[in-house]
Amino acid sequence: MSFINENFMLHSQTAKKLYSDYAEKMPIIDYHCHLNPELIAKDVRFGTITELLLGGDHYKWRMMRSGGVDEYFITGGASDFEKFEKIAEVLPMAVGNPLYHWTHLELKRYFGIDACLNASNAKEIYDECNRLLATEGFSVRGLIGKYDVRVVCTTDDPLDSLEWHKQIKNDGFATKVYPTFRPDKAINIDKDTFLPYIKQMNVGDYRSFCDKLAEKIDFFAENGCRLSDHALEAVPFAQGDPAAVFEKRLAGETVTEREAEIFRTAVLKFLAEKYCEYGFAMQYHIGALRNNNKNMFEKLGPDTGFDSINDLPIAANLSRLLDSFETEGNLPKTILYSLNPKDNYTLGTMIGNFQGSGVNGKLQLGSGWWFNDQRDGMTEQIKALANLGVLGSFVGMLTDSRSFVSYTRHEYFRRIFCDIIGGWVENGEYPNDADALKAIVEGVSFKNAERYFGF
């Protein structure tokens, strides 16, 4: 029997019961991912398992590089089988890496393959997966449907036409696919991308800039958007005149670090007010140190596996920023993620400062993100939230992925969650109250997200 069996990662009878009776039966809301909506609209078919498992998956690319695989077999000109063969060679050595579990979950849940992938069976598995990919139910929409995914929220630039979201809605796909408002290019005034982006926005001063952002939020809301998302390398907070900073940058001058912070703070405050108007939840993804390898960035571009964790302090500025929203009555529902696990307790205590307004879990400690969406990272996030807040109000897992078979991560999370709760019950630390446990597990698996985002 495969090591991925019905009791995989479940170490007590209570954990097994919680998973099989409650968690396993819940549908999925994937409220944050990086799937390409065009591929969903066109219901694309992947020609090979390599395209599906390795295409754009920088998690796997990093592992292959660490295992000594030449870039030619990762993002280079090698054939699809040669690339698949290389990951098959490396994977058995990745003991303890969540990719070992994820890859085998992907093969088993989508393709019915129980064998452990290695160099000797790579060709057999490659051929079988490719055979299935050509059959009914293995298009992009079929893959999404295999895990009963009810909602997918993509990540979209404010200037996006949302044409693919409209097409998906109009052709009646059972899974709802909604956009998420991600205005990073409009906020990062100190980046080289800012002036070209402002030219695309066709605005000439700070007021028209804000008006354009407001117009785009209106447009996203009309097309089903329920969330915004912000990638913050550091949390800004500085007072000053954002219009003057905007004018200086438009004149082609370089802005200082403090001026950039003044601008970012003002824009985030403006956006928070708009999010409140529409009931959007606001996500802050904090602390990625991006594009560290200059040579590889110039060769492959961003999001190719050369980012890491930053260690900047976040507490003071985050407190001032959230308090400025709250003081003006414009603090939206907010989910805070930090890429650095040292910040779990910082964020866990920060959200407690601003709960209220009669909203269950108005501020959320986001699930283990990116380098932390593995067993230890998920466990530490769950325990921090349990220690500091109301775990039963948590909105649960997301994929944060570009892969159409990454819904196995929701299963992975649910098994870990049930194992933790089940362990507490069997240790006598929480009563074996079936009604309460059912509400907690079903809530964190699905129902809390459905309620919180208003889908």
* 41-61: b (≥16 Cβ within 10 Å) or e: beeebbebbbbbbbbbbbbbb
Residue 244: is it exposed, middle or buried by C-beta count within 10 angstroms (0-12/13-18/19+)? middle
* pLDDT, tens only, 67-122: 999 999 999 999 999 999 999 999 999 999 999 999 999 999 999 999 999 999 99
**Does residue 401 contact residue 149 with C-beta atoms inside 8 Å?**
no
Q: Which stretches of the chain score pLDDT less than 70?
A: 1
pTM listed for this prediction: 0.97
DSSP category for residue 444: I
Q: What burial class does residue 183 get, using C-beta atoms within 10 Å of its C-beta: 0-12 exposed, 13-18 middle, 19+ buried? A: buried
Please state the φ and ψ torsions of residue 333, each to the nearest 5 degrees. -55, 135
Residues in contact with 96: Cβ distance below 8 Å, sequence separation at least 6, in sequence order: none
> At a CB cut-off of 8 Å and minimum separation 6, what does 428 contact?
none
- Identify the bridge partners of residue 356 per DSSP, sorted by sequence position: 359
Distance CA 179, CA 210 (A): 20
User: Is the distance from CB of 385 to CB of 394 less than 8 angstroms?
Assistant: yes
Phi, psi (deg, nearest 5) at residue 9? 70, 10
**DSSP strands (E only) in 242-383:** 281-286, 288-289, 308-309, 333-338, 363-365
| Strand pairing class (288-289; 363-365) | unpaired
Distance CA 68, CA 70 (A): 6
Give the pLDDT of residue 2: 80
CA-CA distances (angstroms) from residue 182 to 40, 264, 283, 371?
A: 20, 14, 9, 21
For residue 451 the two structure tokens come to 């309620």
Residue 316 pLDDT: 98
